[in-house]
């Protein structure tokens, strides 16, 4: 990958990661503490348990990612889906620690290490493969977070994307701009 190509690709990755984070933050901000921990039905995860899982996954995958396997021996994935015993702040601190590992890893990718092999559960990956694997994992869980939040939330909902019935108005006011993506919502 040529240096300019790498920069373009990493910019796109960073934009995507940032848009997922905006959706997570906008969703979590609308939930009460009770809603954050509420499971919509038996056998379903809560938003809190998914945040816990993502925090654990991202910490494991992106800590020393070029030197150690992405599935760290100390990680206990199964417990990540248990109810979080702490408060909102401690949950978000845990989640943020994982998120910071991902964003720090992306910032640390250079022409000299982009072609280095890395391993996840013993499977060899290229750096781009590992990032795409992580992005698809994130997108899967961001969708779950948004859906579960809508299911457990009481009251009005601030749309994270274009509100129903507002597509034409949105397109008219944002066409050709990054705002057209509407990540984070717009009631306009």
Distance CA 40, CA 84 (A): 16
Only one residue has tokens 């006011």, namely 173
- The answer to whether 53 touches 81, Cβ cutoff 8 Å, is yes
Averaged over successive runs of 10 residues, the pLDDT of the chain (188 residues) comes to 81 95 97 98 97 98 97 96 95 98 97 96 97 97 98 94 89 87 56
What pLDDT shows up at residue 184? Answer: 58
- The answer to whether 133 touches 32, Cβ cutoff 8 Å, is no
pTM over 0.85: yes
What pLDDT shows up at residue 177? Answer: 87
Instruction: Give the number of C-alpha atoms closer than 13 A to the C-alpha of residue 69, restricted to the C-beta side.
Output: 10
- The answer to whether 50 touches 141, Cβ cutoff 8 Å, is yes
| 175 φ, ψ (degrees, to nearest 5) | -50, 130
Distance CA 183, CA 177 (A): 12
In the chain the domains, ranked by start, together with CATH numbers, are 3-157 (1.20.120.450), 160-188 (no CATH)
Distance CA 161, CA 158 (A): 9
What pLDDT shows up at residue 182? Answer: 67
Only one residue has tokens 């698809």, namely 136
Q: Whose CA is closest to 6, among 117, 125, 127?
A: 127
- The answer to whether 116 touches 67, Cβ cutoff 8 Å, is no
Query: Count of residues for the chain?
Result: 188
């Amino acid at each position: 990958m040529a240096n300019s190509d790498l920069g373009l690709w990493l910019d796109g990755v960073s934009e995507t990661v940032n848009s997922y984070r905006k959706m997570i933050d906008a969703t979590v901000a609308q939930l009460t503490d009770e809603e954050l921990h509420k499971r919509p039905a038996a056998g379903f995860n809560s938003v809190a348990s998914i945040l816990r899982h993502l925090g654990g996954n991202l910490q494991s995958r992106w800590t020393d990612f070029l030197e150690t396997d992405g599935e760290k021996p100390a990680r206990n994935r199964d417990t990540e889906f248990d109810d979080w015993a702490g408060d909102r702040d401690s949950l978000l601190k845990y989640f943020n620690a994982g998120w910071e590992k991902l964003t720090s890893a992306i910032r640390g990718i250079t022409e000299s290490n982009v072609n280095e092999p890395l391993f996840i559960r013993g499977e060899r990956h290229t750096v781009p493969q590992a990032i795409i694997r992580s992005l698809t994992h994130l997108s899967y869980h961001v969708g779950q977070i948004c859906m579960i939040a809508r299911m457990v939330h009481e009251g009005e909902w601030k749309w994270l994307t274009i509100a129903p019935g507002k597509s034409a108005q949105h397109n008219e006011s944002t066409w050709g701009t990054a705002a057209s993506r509407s990540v984070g919502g717009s009631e306009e």
